[in-house]
């Protein structure tokens, strides 16, 4: 009784009901044994004693039980929220439509988890178990305990109906039913859509409303978990002994006797009881036991029910679409519309099978050749005509002329009761070559495939044989399987796939990413153009679009899809017996493995169309909640991410990019973490998207903004300030250089003034005294000749005195001549050219300014030399001289149309004129540029810095003189 009470309480604590629109299956029910079964135990990180399950809006599964709350993405269990709950014994879960999660525990606390924020509510004095939650169509939230039903008003849970209750049911019409806890009380209470009060009804009415059909007598007495409807319309029910599955063959009331199917520990269930059940949005069914969490999933293949001792079955499809399968150690079986049928009269140890030209099935084994048409079995002995040393059938086919070809080492042709060796006598390979496959050509004759890259073609009677080998480009090793197509043949075997057509180069089928097809035992091209290849590593599918592109250009690598045991494909198949894949009726393909047979409908391949939601879980070890701020000095990002791909999580696919560092998406397959190093401060955006096992990508990528704070010296304003300081220092250095030149010129000017004073006070005064004495002497001399000499000496002295005065005036920075540089250049040009010479034009640009006398002499000398060279040496007819008075510089430009510069001199004489003007330019800290002027002529430009070229005002000179450092 105690065990039954515990089971009943466990049942009452579980609730997850999907809306049911009908019970009658729309298609034949797939037995539980056909479902892919995966067990997650403690070694996989799975928690024990899970009593509640839910799936949130993003697709993650939530498991609650005695050890806490766990989130599951198909790979790992995350229990980090358990420590934030008031109690870890979880009894009920609800994933609300807004994406949040409601958690009910054993002690009357309700916890709301919304985007990492945890809020705990209590139910006043009610400390009993929160057994169930329900969310109605109007968005209202309800919680049920054994004592009462509560409704959430947005701030607290308020009692709306006193119990006792054992279950809450949400009906498809939006009603809420509360079921009485008392075993002998069949009363239920109904709250209709938009109603304010509950109305009394019965449990039968509530369950009828829940299912949409009448009748509830089917419920098992051992039921401890709510029923779940799968995609085929059947019920999965958790019981004390495992899973019970119910289906109804018709559309009548569920009071009709259901078809029952059980799955217990003896069948492979990981525990004795099914404590909780759930169907996720991908169609997978989940069940928890005391020690495990288990998944049942429909794959893309349907396995054929064969006896467990079946081994290496040979398969063929007859003209009616029925599958015939041999069992190497047992009898032959036929699978058709009426189910399976055995044919013991076909014998045992059948090695190969093929479809005859009339639609019958041929099989060969130790008992000889067998022909079956579904009505009778005909035996055709092959021995003793076949050499007794050749054992082991590898290939079988019937030619259009009715003859049967078999491979037992070499090829044999059976016709009219005799088997003839088809070897070197007819031009076909013989020992040591072994025949692996035979197929009818699309036009006439046969294709024969051998080991060591040998392919042959022959007519039905064995004539006209031609042999092709590696010299013709065949390179697949032993050829295990062939498929005739469009006058040629697909060949595959140990390695690779090729298409061969006589008279044309062989074409290699290269798969994307360098994938190599290995140990292929079957190949089929469907009428839609898709290509299917069965190998030891699984079944390859190349779709029609990829094949169409490959037919246009054999250089294209083709996309492919590979199926394996995770899709329901049973076992592997080596080279024998071949072919291991044959087409059936419609789009059906039958695939044989070493221990079983499976089928796939190529026209309706089941696909997971649910787009996964990618989630960034951690960055640098911390949970992600919105924008991420990292401290200054952070140079590394360790990002952990995931997506709830529950069907085949090993085939989940991820792509990401870190904007601010990379632009292109990085496709990383099933890798679920990434690290970035040597990052600088700034703002980045990490974008992530995921794809499920069938290549359906997230509708939109998830984006996380990440900011790495800078040190103060890494901030933009510090960099800007540094640039400004550097520019300021460069500018100050420039000003210091110019000021230094100005100071130097002022110093030179002051030194010239001192020299002028000394010359005036000494030399000129002495000469003036000498002049007076000579004049007195001249006046006293009467002799004409002597007087004349003295007067000449007097005039020479006067001239010397006048010249000295002019030099002194020049040293003091003043000119007796008040003409400008432009006027002097024009006068100099007139003196040089004379009448009828070159035309010289002198012009000025800008406001004229006084030039520094210390620099003006050098500028004038350079200008005179350039003008003289243009007139005298370049034979110019026109010379233009332009002086530009800019604020920061003074420029003299001399352009002519003469012979131009001679870049290479024919003699060794140095040009002292050019040397002189360059030396003068360097003394002025100026830039002198002399270059040819197309189409002929020369252009010379002298640019002098303003502080050097221009005369400093007297106040500036006075200010400099007053400074101690200048003195």
* Helix 954-961 vs helix 716-759: crossing angle, to nearest 10: 90
The CA-based dihedral angle spanning residues 570, 572, 575, 579, taken in that order and rounded to the nearest 10 degrees: 20
Q: Confirm if 137 and 174 have CB atoms less than 8 A apart.
A: yes
Coil, strand or helix at 802? helix
**Helices then strands, each counted (H, E), the chain:** 11, 66
Coil, strand or helix at 885? strand
| Cα–Cα dist 454/463, whole Å | 18
Give percent above pLDDT 90 in the chain.
Answer: 48
Tokens representing 425 are 């006598």
* Tokens 């009452």 found at: 12
Q: Is 961's pLDDT higher than 60? A: no
Coil, strand or helix at 471? helix
Q: Given this model, what pLDDT does residue 904 score?
A: 42
- CA 715 vs CA 631, 637, 680, 682, 712: distances in Å: 13, 20, 11, 9, 5
* Helix 716-759 vs helix 853-868: crossing angle, to nearest 10: 90
**CB atoms near residue 872 (< 10 Å):** 14
pLDDT class of 817 with cuts at 50, 70, 90: low
| Cα–Cα dist 417/752, whole Å | 137
- CA 450 vs CA 236, 413, 480, 742, 950: distances in Å: 52, 16, 8, 100, 102
Per-position DSSP letters for 645-683, written without gaps between them: --S-GGG-EEEEEEETT--S-EEEET--EEEE-SPPSEE
pLDDT tens across 623-658, in order?
888 889 999 989 999 999 999 999 999 999 999 999
| Cα–Cα dist 881/114, whole Å | 85
**What stretches of 812-881 show up as alpha helix (H) in DSSP?**
821-833, 853-868
Least Cα distance to 774 among 761, 793, 801, 757 occurs for 793
Looking at residue 818, the DSSP 8-state letter turns out to be: -
Q: Is 451's pLDDT higher than 60? A: yes
| Cα–Cα dist 967/961, whole Å | 6
| Cα–Cα dist 599/777, whole Å | 147
* Helix 912-923 vs helix 853-868: crossing angle, to nearest 10: 150
Q: Confirm if 439 and 460 have CB atoms less than 8 A apart.
A: no
- CA 886 vs CA 255, 451, 828, 845, 889: distances in Å: 109, 93, 25, 8, 5
Q: Given this model, what pLDDT does residue 908 score?
A: 44
Burial of 205 (0-12, 13-18, 19+ CB in 10 A): middle
pLDDT tens across 743-778, in order?
777 777 777 777 877 777 777 777 777 777 777 777
Stretch 535-541: mean pLDDT, rounded? Answer: 93
pLDDT tens across 149-205, in order?
999 999 999 999 888 887 788 887 888 988 876 666 778 899 988 888 899 988 878
Q: Given this model, what pLDDT does residue 445 score?
A: 95
Q: Is 22's pLDDT higher than 60? A: no
pLDDT class of 955 with cuts at 50, 70, 90: low
pLDDT tens across 663-703, in order?
999 999 999 999 999 999 999 999 999 999 999 999 999 99
Q: How far apart are the first and last CA of the chain?
A: 118
Q: Given this model, what pLDDT does residue 834 score?
A: 65
pLDDT class of 816 with cuts at 50, 70, 90: low
pLDDT tens across 776-792, in order?
777 787 788 887 877 78
Stretch 575-598: mean pLDDT, rounded? Answer: 87
| Cα–Cα dist 699/609, whole Å | 11
- Output the pTM of the full model: 0.72
Stretch 936-958: mean pLDDT, rounded? Answer: 77
pLDDT tens across 65-107, in order?
999 999 999 999 999 999 999 999 999 999 999 999 999 999 9
* Tokens 């008392």 found at: 182
Q: Is 485's pLDDT higher than 90? A: yes
Stretch 317-330: mean pLDDT, rounded? Answer: 84
């Amino acid at each position: 009784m105690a065990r039954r009470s515990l089971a009943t309480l466990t049942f009452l604590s579980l609730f997850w009901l999907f809306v049911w629109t009908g019970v009658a299956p729309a298609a034949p029910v797939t037995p539980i044994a056909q479902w892919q079964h995966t067990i997650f135990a403690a070694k996989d990180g799975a928690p024990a004693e899970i009593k509640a399950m839910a799936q949130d809006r993003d697709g993650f599964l939530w498991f609650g039980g005695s050890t806490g709350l766990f989130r599951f993405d198909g790979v790992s269990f995350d229990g980090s929220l358990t420590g934030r709950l008031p109690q870890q014994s979880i009894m009920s879960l609800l994933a609300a439509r807004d994406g949040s999660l409601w958690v009910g525990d054993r002690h009357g606390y309700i916890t709301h988890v919304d985007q990492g924020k945890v809020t705990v509510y209590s139910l006043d004095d009610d400390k009993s178990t929160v057994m169930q939650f329900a969310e109605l169509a109007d968005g209202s939230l309800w919680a049920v305990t054994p004592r009462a039903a509560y409704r959430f008003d947005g701030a607290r849970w308020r009692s709306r109906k006193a119990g006792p209750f054992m279950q809450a049911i949400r009906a498809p019409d939006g009603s809420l039913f509360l079921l009485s806890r008392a075993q002998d009380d069949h009363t239920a209470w109904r709250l209709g859509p938009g109603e304010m009060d509950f109305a009394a009804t019965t449990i039968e009415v509530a369950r009828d409303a829940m299912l949409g059909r009448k009748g509830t007598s089917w419920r098992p007495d051992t039921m401890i978990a709510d029923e779940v409807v799968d995609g085929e319309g059947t019920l999965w029910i958790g019981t004390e002994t495992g899973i019970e599955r119910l289906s109804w063959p018709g559309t009548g009331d569920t009071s009709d006797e259901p078809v029952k199917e059980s799955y217990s520990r003896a069948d492979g269930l990981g525990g004795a009881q099914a404590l909780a059940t759930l169907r996720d949005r991908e169609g997978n069914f989940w069940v928890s036991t005391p020690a495990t969490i288990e998944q049942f999933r429909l794959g893309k293949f349907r396995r054929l029910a064969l006896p467990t001792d079946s081994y290496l079955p040979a398969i063929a499809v007859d003209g009616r679409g029925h599958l015939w399968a041999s069992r190497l150690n047992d009898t032959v079986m036929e699978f058709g519309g009426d189910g399976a049928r055995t044919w013991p009269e076909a014998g045992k140890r059948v090695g190969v099978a093929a479809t005859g030209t009339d639609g019958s099935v041929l099989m060969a084994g130790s008992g000889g050749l067998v022909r079956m048409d579904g009505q009778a079995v005909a035996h055709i002995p092959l021995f003793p005509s076949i050499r007794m040393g050749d054992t082991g059938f590898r290939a079988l086919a019937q030619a259009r002329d009715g003859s049967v070809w078999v491979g037992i080492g070499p090829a044999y042709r059976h016709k009219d009761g005799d088997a003839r060796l088809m070897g070197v006598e007819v031009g076909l390979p013989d020992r040591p070559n072994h025949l692996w496959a035979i197929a009818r050509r699309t036009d006439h004759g046969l294709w024969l495939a051998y080991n060591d890259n040998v392919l042959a073609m022959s007519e039905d009677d064995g004539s006209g044989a031609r042999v092709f080998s590696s010299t013709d480009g065949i390179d697949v090793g032993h050829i295990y399987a062939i498929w005739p197509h469009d006058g040629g043949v697909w060949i595959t075997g140990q390695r690779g796939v090729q298409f061969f057509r006589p008279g044309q180069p062989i074409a290699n089928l290269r798969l994307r990413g360098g994938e190599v097809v290995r140990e292929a035992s079957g190949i089929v091209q469907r009428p839609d153009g898709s290509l299917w290849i069965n190998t030891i590593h699984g079944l390859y599918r190349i779709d029609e679009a990829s094949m169409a592109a490959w037919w246009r250009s054999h250089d294209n690598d083709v996309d492919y899809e590979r199926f394996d045991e995770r899709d329901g494909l049973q076992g592997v198949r080596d080279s024998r017996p071949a072919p291991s894949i044959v087409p059936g009726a419609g789009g059906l393909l039958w695939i044989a493995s070493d221990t079983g047979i499976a089928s796939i409908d190529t026209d309706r391949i089941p696909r997971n169309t649910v787009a996964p939601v990618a989630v960034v879980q951690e960055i640098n070890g911390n949970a992600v909640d919105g924008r991420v701020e990292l401290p200054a000095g952070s140079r590394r990002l360790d990002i952990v991410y995931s997506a709830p791909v529950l069907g085949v999580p090993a085939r989940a696919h991820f792509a990401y990019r870190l904007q601010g560092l990379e632009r292109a998406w990085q496709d990383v397959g099933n890798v679920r973490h990434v690290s970035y190093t040597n990052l600088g401060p700034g703002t980045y955006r990490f974008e992530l998207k995921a794809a499920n096992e069938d290549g359906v990508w997230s509708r939109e990528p998830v984006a996380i903004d990440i900011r790495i704070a800078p040190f103060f010296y890494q901030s933009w304003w510090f960099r800007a300030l540094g640039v400004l300081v550097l520019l300021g220092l460069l500018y100050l250095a420039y000003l210091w250089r110019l000021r230094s030149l100005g100071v130097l010129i002022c110093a030179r000017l002051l030194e010239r003034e001192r020299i002028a004073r000394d010359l005036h006070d000494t030399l000129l005064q002495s000469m003036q005294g000498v002049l007076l004495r000579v004049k007195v002497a001249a006046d006293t001399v009467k002799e004409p000749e002597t007087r004349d000499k003295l007067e000449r000496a007097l005039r020479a002295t006067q001239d010397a005195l006048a010249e000295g005065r002019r030099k002194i005036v020049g040293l003091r920075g003043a000119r007796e001549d008040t003409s400008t540089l432009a006027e002097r250049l024009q006068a100099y040009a007139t003196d040089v050219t004379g009448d009828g010479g070159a035309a010289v034009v002198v012009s000025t640009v800008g406001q004229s300014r006084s030039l520094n006398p210390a620099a003006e002499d050098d500028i004038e000398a350079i200008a005179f030399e350039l003008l003289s060279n243009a007139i005298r040496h370049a034979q110019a007819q026109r010379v233009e001289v332009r002086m530009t008075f800019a604020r920061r510089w003074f420029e003299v430009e001399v352009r002519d149309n003469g012979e131009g510069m001679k870049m290479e001199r024919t003699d060794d004489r140095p040009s002292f004129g050019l040397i002189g003007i360059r030396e003068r330019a360097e003394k002025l800290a100026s830039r002198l540029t002399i270059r040819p002027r197309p189409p002929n002529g020369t252009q010379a430009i002298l640019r002098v810095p303003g502080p050097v070229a221009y005369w400093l005002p007297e106040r500036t000179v006075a200010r400099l003189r007053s400074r101690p450092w200048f003195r």
